[in-house]
């Protein structure tokens, strides 16, 4: 029997971010999986009345299936801490640092992890940034600092594409980040309770592993485990655990890398609430290790706690 058997479990999903639709799908999948394990689960769309709904439900633990702002950035975690409701995933500070790519890059650098060259610009400068301002010229990757699921991310190959990419990224919260475009294998590592669970390599049919490639079945080929030599797998797994610890993460997380020529893994970000849909990566990695989706969800739930 799981730790929360017989307790009222609230699966938090939806929310108000640009990733709302993906979060709804994650929440529905996780709720169904937990119910199949015999748990008393209620799906809760996390709106402005979240505290009222959790009290009315008598929620004893929260499985956080939110993505993006207000759910993955420490806001929901702060509410749950103040209410005394144990929850899955990372705490307030870890969530906030991981969500802000400017902050997390500083943490990764301090931990000795390899990073692509990058520059940070205020969103107000979007209209005045030229090719000469970029860290390594073109091609380059333009992204908002505080979004996930590749929302607002663009690979810019020609100078004429740059203004539109910057304008789109500037629509979202936070600064603009322009990174050196790295060629290599797109590899993600699942980390559960501080230990690397396994790897997956994505080969998208599109330019890169963007929103469409992530959430449209058939648009990406997956290799589980990633096609790396044993020493490459060991290194990327070790770096993922280092990033997890450096941010102070808890529960399950997904760490994203580009493994460039020479086998160097360049870290992109840590997702403290990774997607858990039918096309999501952490469930694929777990399945490759013989862990069925319902068992994975209950293992994540078993780790729920207050972090303060």
Q: Does residue 210 carry a catalytic annotation?
A: no
Q: Which of the following is catalytic: 70, 118, 181, 215? A: 215
Q: Which of 25, 256, 266, 280 is catalytic?
A: 256
Query: Which residues are CB-contacts of 60 (< 8 A; sequence separation ≥ 6)?
Result: 4, 7, 8, 9, 85, 86
Q: What whole-number distance in Å separates Cα of residue 140 and Cα of residue 126?
A: 15
Candidates 104, 188, 250, 271; catalytic one: 271
Cβ–Cβ under 8 Å, residues 163 and 151: no
215: annotated active-site residue: yes
- Secondary structure (3-state) at 36: helix
- Would you call 269 a catalytic residue per the annotation? yes
DSSP state of 19: T
Triad 284, 289, 294: Cα angle to 5°: 65
Q: Please tell me whether residue 257 adopts helix, strand or coil conformation.
A: strand
Catalytic (active site) residue 193: no
* 144, 169 contact by CB (below 8 A): yes
Whether 188 is a known active-site residue: answer: no
Q: Which of these is catalytic: 254, 266, 280, 298?
A: 254
CA–CA dist 186, 208 (Å, integer): 9
Catalytic option among 149, 188, 237, 250 = 149
Residue 254 designated active-site: yes
CB 258 within 8 A of CB 266: yes
Which residue's structure tokens are 């050196």? Answer: 180
The residue whose two tokens read 């000795």 is: 112
Write down the catalytic residue from 210, 275, 280, 298.
275
Choosing from 73, 269, 280, 298, the catalytic residue is 269
19, 100, 175, 239: the active-site residue = 19
Q: Which residues are catalytic?
A: 19, 149, 215, 254, 256, 269, 271, 275
């Amino acid at each position: 029997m799981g730790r929360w058997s017989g307790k009222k479990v609230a699966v938090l999903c939806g929310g108000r971010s640009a990733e709302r639709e993906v979060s709804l799908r994650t929440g529905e999948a996780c709720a169904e999986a937990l119910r199949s394990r015999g748990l008393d689960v209620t799906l809760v769309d996390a709106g402005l009345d979240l505290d009222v709904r959790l009290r009315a439900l008598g929620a004893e633990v929260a499985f956080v299936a939110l993505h993006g702002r207000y759910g993955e950035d420490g806001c929901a975690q702060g509410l749950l801490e103040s209410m005394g409701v144990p929850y899955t995933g990372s705490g307030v500070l870890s969530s906030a640092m991981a969500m802000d790519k400017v902050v997390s890059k500083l943490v990764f650098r301090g931990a000795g992890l390899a990073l692509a060259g990058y520059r940070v610009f205020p969103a107000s400068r979007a209209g005045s940034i030229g090719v000469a301002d970029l860290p390594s010229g073109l091609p380059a990757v333009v992204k908002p600092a505080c979004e996930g699921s590749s929302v607002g991310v663009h690979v810019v190959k020609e100078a004429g594409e740059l203004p539109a990419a910057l304008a789109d990224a500037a629509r979202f919260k936070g600064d603009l980040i322009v990174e050196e475009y790295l060629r290599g294998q797109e590899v993600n590592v699942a980390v559960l309770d501080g230990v690397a669970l396994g790897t997956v390599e994505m080969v998208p049919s599109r330019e890169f592993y963007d929103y469409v490639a992530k959430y449209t079945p058939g648009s990406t080929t997956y290799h589980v485990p990633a096609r790396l030599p044993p020493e490459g797998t060991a290194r990327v797994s070790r770096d993922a655990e280092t990033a997890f610890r450096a941010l102070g993460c808890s529960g399950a997380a997904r760490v994203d890398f580009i493994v460039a020529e020479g086998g160097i893994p360049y870290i992109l970000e840590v997702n403290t609430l990774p997607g858990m849909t039918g096309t999501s990566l952490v469930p694929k990695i777990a399945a490759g290790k013989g862990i069925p989706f319902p068992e994975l969800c209950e293992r994540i739930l078993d780790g729920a706690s207050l972090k303060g």
